[in-house]
Amino acid sequence: MPADPLSQSALSAPAFSAAGLTEMIGYGAATLTTVAFLPQAVKIWRTRSARDVSLPTFALFTLGVLLWLAYGLLLGAWPVILANTVTLGLSVLILLMKLRFDREA
C-alpha cells in the first residue's frame, strides 16, 4: 500500500523546517542586535568618555532590555533570553562607564 501523502509524518516535515528557520532568524537577529553594542562599549572604554551617551535614554533602554529578558524567561524563548542577557550586561557596563567617566571629567 503506498504511503498516504497526507499522513502526519508528511505534514510535520515542513512545519519542522519552518520552525527551524524561525529559530535561525531569531538567533541571527539576537546576535546582530546584541553585537551592535560592542563597538560603543569599546569606544567608551578606550576614550574614557561617555559624554555623548544620554543617561536617561540608556537607563530607559536598560530597563526595557530587563523587561525583554523577563518576557523571554516567561516564554522560554531562548533567542530572546540569550540576546537580552548579553545585551543587559553590555548595557549595564555602558551605564556604569557613563557614571564613572562623567564623574571623573
Which pLDDT score, from 0 to 100, does residue 8 have?
54
* Per-position pLDDT tens, the chain of length 105: 555 555 555 555 555 578 788 888 888 888 898 899 899 999 999 999 999 999 999 999 999 999 999 999 999 988 889 899 999 999 999 999 999 999 887
What pLDDT is stored for residue 49 in this prediction?
94
Question: What secondary structure does DSSP assign to 77-98, as a single string?
Answer: -HHHHHHHHHHHHHHHHHHHHH
Q: Which domains does the chain have, with CATH numbers?
A: 8-104 (1.20.1280.290)
The pTM for the full model equals: 0.74
The whole-angstrom separation of Cα 91 and Cα 103 is 18
The whole-number pLDDT of residue 27 equals 85
How many C-beta atoms lie closer than 10 Å to residue 64's C-beta?
14
Cα separation of 10 and 50, whole Å?
56
CB 55 within 8 A of CB 71: no
